[in-house]
Amino acid sequence: KIPSHKNVEELKELEEMRSAARLLREGGLVAFPTETVYGLGADATKEEASSAIFAAKGRPKDNPLIVHIGQKKQLTQITREIPPVAHQLLHRFCPGPLTLVLKHNGSLAQTVTAGLDTVAVRIPSHPVALALLQLADIPIAAPSANRSGRPSPTTADHVWSDLAGKIDILLDSGPTSVGVESTVVDVTGKVPVLLRPGGITIEELKKAIGKIEMDPGLLNQKRKPRSPGMKYKHYAPQGELWLVQGEEKSMIRKMRQLAEQALARGKKVGILTTEEHQDQFRGLFVVSCGRRKEPASVAIRLYDALRRFDEEKVEIIYAESFPQYGLFHSIMNRLWKAAGGRVIKS
């Protein structure tokens, strides 16, 4: 347990933090909180250490990892060039839930970049993450600390239930504050490209840098996404999740109808909805993932909500959908992937 009220400098004095940093330098695996989700960290310059991440997660080898650093100046130690737009983004959003894809300089382990000539880098803003990265003072490869394919972990309990026995240390600092992963932007071309929507919204990005393109693979199911990880079935609960779309009232009515039909077929049914609507599903297994009026509250609770259905061994889940703006954009991206593209229009 790491106290959540301490600042970076205070955290750097803690023996738990120091031994976790030492372990990273010796090639160990450390799970730690970031503001988005918990990460599973290892030395990004050592093949063996980074390979251990893939083994612990059961992650496909062609899916590169995000490299985490504790200070902007470390960027020049791993990248070949930093274009002006990257400086703009760094200035505006880092530390924070933004990941930049840049050309690397060959100093990282091949497993980390999956053999690509680019690397995804981010500076998290969570004090525990920053303190750990600054103490270790090496680039740390860290994907989300879940078993591959499962919802990302927003609490230490989630990490524990996926990876107990497979990691050396788990730094528990309570639930994370953003709840969805970082936004990934490729800045190696003429125009920046959004590869994964996340904690920083498209609206915020546009305001900061003007022009940004969307990876066509994000919008079109038939195109291969440019971010290797985006092609996998992801964030998925074990039950079959259906995303129900449409105008609010008819969407809720449709969800109720579908649930009743599935119940009649003898299925164990779950409903994923919001506080505004949860009372309309009496008698069913209902999980509320925050307030529809507050996208940030939904982001924080989304992955925990998805995990609840597994705990209850729910076989079929009907999920409320959200309008495409701000954080809802990232939330809908995750729900759509959790649904494996199963959408019902009301």
Binding residue ranges for L-threonine: 36, 59, 68, 122, 142, 182
- Is 306 a binding residue for ligand TXA by CB under 6 A? The answer is no
Query: Is beta strand 193-196 parallel, antiparallel or unpaired with respect to 213-214?
Result: parallel
The strands making up 285-288's β-sheet, listed across from edge to edge, are 285-288, 269-273, 316-320, 240-245, 343-345
The minimum distance between CB 218 and ligand TXA, in angstroms, equals: 11
Query: Is beta strand 39-43 parallel, antiparallel or unpaired with respect to 169-170?
Result: unpaired
Hey, which residues does 141 pair with through a beta bridge?
Answer: 42, 67
- Is 118 a binding residue for ligand TXA by CB under 6 A? The answer is yes
Q: Which of the listed partners (Mg ion, ligand TXA, none) does 208 bind, with a CB threshold of 5 to 8 Å by partner kind?
A: none
Using DSSP's 3-state secondary structure scheme, residue 13 falls into coil
Which H or E element spans position 271?
A: strand 269-273
Between residue 87 and residue 116, which ones bind ligand TXA under the rule CB under 6 A? 99, 101, 113, 116
Q: Helix/strand/coil (H, E, C) string of 272-306? A: EECCCCHHHHCCCEEEECCCCCCHHHHHHHHHHHH
Q: Which of the listed partners (Mg ion, ligand TXA, none) does 120 bind, with a CB threshold of 5 to 8 Å by partner kind?
A: ligand TXA
Task: Give 160's contacts (C-beta < 8 A, 6+ positions apart).
Answer: 170
Phi, psi torsion values for 342, nearest 5 degrees = -80, 105
| Interface characters, 47-86, with ligand TXA (x: CB under 6 A) | ----------------xxxx--------------------
Closer to Mg ion at the Cβ: 17 or 121? 121
- Is 142 a binding residue for ligand TXA by CB under 6 A? The answer is yes
- Is 302 a binding residue for ligand TXA by CB under 6 A? The answer is no
Which among 223, 149, 168, 147 has a CA at the least distance from the CA of 27?
Answer: 168
**Sign (positive/negative) of CA torsion 329, 333, 336, 338?**
negative
| Interface characters, 1-40, with ligand TXA (x: CB under 6 A) | ---------------------------------x-xx-x-
Closer to ligand TXA at the Cβ: 46 or 256? 46
Pick the stretch among 6-14, 77-85, 155-163, 176-184 that binds ligand TXA (CB under 6 A). Answer: 176-184
Q: Which stretches of the chain bind ligand TXA, using CB under 6 A?
A: 34, 36-37, 39, 63-66, 99, 101, 113, 116, 118-120, 122, 124, 142-144, 181-182, 184, 195-196, 227-230
